Copies of this chain bind each other. A is one copy, B any other.
Amino acid sequence: MASSRVTIKDVAKRAGVSIASVSRYINKSFQVGKNKRLKIEEAIKELNYRPSLYARRLAGGKLNTFGLIIPGYEGIFYSYYALSIIREVASALDNAGIDLHLNIYRKKDLFNPSLVDGVIVADIVSNQEQVSRLIKEDVPLVVINRRVSDSGVSFVAVDNYKGAYEAVEFLINHGHKKIAHLAGDLKVQCAQDRLGGYKDAFSKNGLKVNDKYVGVTNFSRIQAREELEKMFSSKEPPTAFFCCSDEVASEVISFGEENSIKIPEKLSVIGFDDNPNCLHSGLMLTTVRQPFARMAQEAVKILQEKTAKETPPKRLTLESKLIIRDTVSFLKK
């Protein structure tokens, strides 16, 4: 019995009611008389009926599915950040009883939103095109981890600026002056913000930023290594590093180990993410933790409201948290 063929009509016939009643029962069961209700329930069970969601949607109903759009750059499935977003959004949706349509796009064709009720866009690298198109099409939309300039768009972001500021100030308070920053890809807003926080922590503490201490990476170890070698071949190598990710921080630690630079005695390190994969090495990394789970939950909540009824845009910035562990020490003169 191919019950995919079972329609609301079959249920109605079996239950001896009209299809309208069945529809009502499914969507808000209390509006149907009790005896009919029981009959409908029975019919549904016996026939193994499941509503056709696309038919429902066509008739104005909901698909109960949200899209998550993530730019599909190389290595995305090895990126702790991207995986965290996917994981937490999937989990938040699961709790809300909503399905996930995952769009990891590499192709140029933009995501067709007709299969979802709303869309969450993660800013990993810039994806302005997708966002503009979705706005134009009036698709309920929330952007994650990017403060969108268009004030009509909702977002949930992390205060990367402040997170960076606090981390660097923490290093300054430990007596460090030669603090390097291994930044992430500056096309990404969070990388810019962290760089901003780094710079401001300097100036607000009466220090000057030295461009030689700023290296730009794509959040990966390989480029971090290049920058490290540059910095440590200079006359005055840094005594501390603030890194754009825990992975990059791991690379700093590896570099230190290979070159017999004791951490934290000779070199302090702070990462970003609180990535459990980077905890292994025995050294517990001091790092800035991002509230991925809450970010996802808030995004889902906002999107639910948006899909329920017209809602003014919500723009949320969450706090990160400095997790103090073992890789920062006072600078010894």
Tell me which residues across on chain B come within 8 A of A102, comparing CB atoms.
90, 100-102
From B111, B115, B138, A4 is in contact (CB under 8 Å) with: B138
- The CA of A136 and the CA of B48, in the complex, are separated in Å by 9
A72: B residues at CB distance < 8 A: 94
The reply to whether A83 and B90 contact each other, CB–CB distance below 8 Å, is: no
What B residues does A55 contact at CB under 8 A?
Answer: 54, 58, 114
Also in contact, A52 and B99, with CB within 8 A (given A77-B86, A94-B107, A136-B2) = no
**A65 contacts B99, C-beta separation under 8 Å:** no
A50 pairs with B94, CB closer than 8 A: no
A259 at the interface (CB under 8 A from B): no
A104 CB contact (under 8 Å) in B3, B100, B104, B107: B100
Residue of B nearest to A110 (CB): B50
Q: A99 contacts B115, CB within 8 Å?
A: yes
CB of A225, distance to nearest CB on chain B (Å): 15
The residues in A between 102 and 132 inclusive whose CB is less than 8 angstroms from any CB of B are 102-107, 109, 111-115
| Pair B137/A2 contact, Cβ less than 8 Å | yes
Give the chain B neighbours of A136 by CB distance below 8 A. Answer: 1-3, 48
> Which residues of B lie under 8 Å from residue A97 when comparing CB positions?
107, 109
Interface assignment of A280: CB less than 8 Å from any CB of chain B = yes
Q: How far is the CA of A23 from the CA of B109 in the complex (A)?
A: 19
Contact surface of A with B, Cβ cutoff 8 Å: 1-5, 48, 50-55, 57-58, 63, 65, 72, 77-78, 83, 86-87, 90, 94, 97, 99-107, 109, 111-115, 133, 136-139, 276-277, 280
Return 30 A-B CB contacts under 8 Å, by A number: A2-B136, A2-B138, A3-B136, A3-B137, A4-B138, A4-B139, A48-B133, A50-B112, A50-B114, A52-B114, A53-B114, A54-B57, A54-B63, A54-B114, A55-B114, A65-B115, A77-B87, A83-B83, A90-B102, A90-B104, A94-B104, A94-B106, A97-B107, A99-B111, A99-B112, A99-B115, A100-B102, A100-B104, A102-B102, A280-B280
Top 8 nearest A-B pairs (CB, nearest first) are A54-B54, A2-B138, A77-B87, A4-B137, A102-B102, A53-B114, A54-B57, A52-B114
